[in-house]
Amino acid sequence: MKPAAFDYVRAESVAEALAVLGQEGSDARILAGGMSFMAMLNMRLARPKVLVDIMRVEPLARLEVGKGALKIGAGVRQARLLAFDGLESGAPLIAKALPFTGHAQTRSRGTVCGSIAHADPSAELPLCLVTLRGHVHLKSARAGRKVAAEDFFTGMMATAKADDEMIEAVSFPTPKGEGTAFREIARRHGDFAIVACAALVSDNGIRLGVGGVADMPVARDIPLLDGSALDDALNALAWELDARDDVHASARYRRELVRRIGRSTIEEAKRCRA
């Protein structure tokens, strides 16, 4: 279980990394924390010709709150974000969700943007990004662009990022007084979610994000409902997400969790707001 051969580039600037991506296209892959990607390399599921290590590019390690958004550079590791003083105020939902991401031993190396780029439909950070209406800042040697989270994820591990682009940063809008809550059901602590729910509740309504069910994280706006009306809305969402069976859980179970955990997450977010 050893990787196939590849060249290794230790990029010293964003421009250098982008130059390699520009030349090699889909044969090149960015290596950041490597916590998902290295397993695929070892299993030879991935066989890039060249890996571009961006962890020594200092500008990518920026982590800042400004202009209504928490902006996280591609070099920011998950553990650093979790320990960031501004996290609780800047992104309380992430503060609640991030402890569910892997384990201390993977958060220490894994990056925030790496998880977004990997686009695992069960992962917590993509779910937060979609729920919070965050943005992905993409850059290529040609140009840069900013893509809304809901346009970024296009399917199972599939994103709108072109082969010559890399994620330079992601940004999460800072909260405007919403109540937030996050709940996740997994087989074991730290496993990929069978269902994860992220809820934001404000005067304008409820926004519920669901991970682990559809091929990508999905968030929906729901009016401020209660009782059976909320149950109906959740049931509609549960059916809409096209849940599937896998070795860990049935489709029916996933829908059940969307209804039940979705509801308890929304209620918790309401309490959090109050």
By CB under 8 A, what part of segment 47-86 binds another protein? Answer: 47-51, 53, 55, 77, 79
Options 18, 35, 60, 167; binder of another protein; rule CB under 8 A: 35
Nearer to another protein, 42 or 89 (CB): 42
The stretches of 10-54 forming alpha helices (DSSP H) are: 14-24, 37-42
Q: Is 156 in the site for another protein (CB under 8 A)?
A: yes
**Residue from 18, 29, 132, 166 that binds another protein (CB under 8 A)?**
29
User: Which lies closer to another protein via its Cβ, residue 32 or residue 65?
Assistant: 32
What 3-state DSSP class applies to 251?
Answer: helix
Residues 6+ apart with CB under 8 A from 147: 135, 136, 138, 160
Contact yes or no for 116/126 (Cβ under 8 A): yes
Counting residues that bind another protein (by CB under 8 A) gives 88
Pairing of strands 50-53, 28-31: parallel
- Please tell me whether residue 137 adopts helix, strand or coil conformation: strand
Segment 222 to 261, residues that bind another protein, using CB under 8 A: 231-232, 235-236, 239-240, 242-253, 255-257, 259-261
Over the window 178 to 207, marking each residue x when it contacts another protein by CB under 8 A and - when it does not, the resulting string is -------x-xxxxxx-x-------------
- Scan for tokens 């849940």, then name that residue: 243
